[in-house]
Amino acid sequence: MPVLAMPQRSADSPPISIRRGTPADAAALAEFAARTFQESFGVMNDPVEVAAYLRHAYGPAQQEAELRDPDHVTLLAERDGELAGYAQLRRFPTPPCVTGPHAVELRRFYVDAPFHGRGLAQQLMAEAVSTARGMGFATLWLAVWEHNPRGIAFYRNSGFTDVGWQPFLLGAEVQTDRVMARAIQE
Whichever domain contains 107, its CATH number is 3.40.630.30
pLDDT digits (tens, 9 = 90+) for 50-77: 999 999 899 999 999 999 999 999 999 9
pLDDT at 3: 40
For residue 106, is it left (φ>0), alpha (ψ between -120 and 50) or beta? beta
Is residue 97 assigned to a domain?
yes
81 Cβ neighbours under 8 A, 6+ residues apart: none
Burial code (b: 16+ CB inside 10 Å, e: under 16) for 157-167 equals ebebeebbeee
In a domain, 8, yes or no: no
Dihedral over Cα of 172, 37, 30, 48: its sign: negative
Residue-level pLDDT at 13: 62
Q: What is the dihedral of CA 117, 139, 92, 56, to 10 degrees?
A: 10
- Among 8-12, 22-26, 158-162, which stretch is predicted with the lowest mean pLDDT? 8-12
Has residue 163 been placed in a domain?
yes
Query: Is there a contact between 112 and 154 (Cβ–Cβ < 8 Å)?
Result: no
Domain-located, residue 105? yes
Q: Is the pLDDT of residue 118 over 90?
A: no
Residues for the chain: how many in total? 186
Looking at the predicted structure, is the pLDDT value of residue 12 above 70?
no
Residue 20 sits in which domain range? 16-183
**Domains in the chain, number:** 1
Q: What band does 49 get if pLDDT is binned at 50, 70 and 90?
A: very high
pLDDT at residue 32 tops 70:
yes
Q: Which of 89, 45, 44 is nearest to 67 (CA)?
A: 89
Asked whether residue 7 is domain-assigned, the answer is: no
Query: Would you say residue 5 lies in a domain?
Result: no
Domain annotation covers residue 2: no
Judged against a pLDDT cut of 70, whether residue 135 lies above it is answered with: yes
Q: Higher confidence at residue 105 or residue 3?
A: 105
Quote the percentage of the chain above a pLDDT of 90. 83
Are 148 and 45 in contact by the 8 Å Cβ rule? The answer is: no
**pTM flag (> 0.85):** yes
Evaluate whether residue 10 is within a structural domain: no
Task: Of 7, 1, 17, give the one whose Cα is nearest residue 79.
Answer: 17
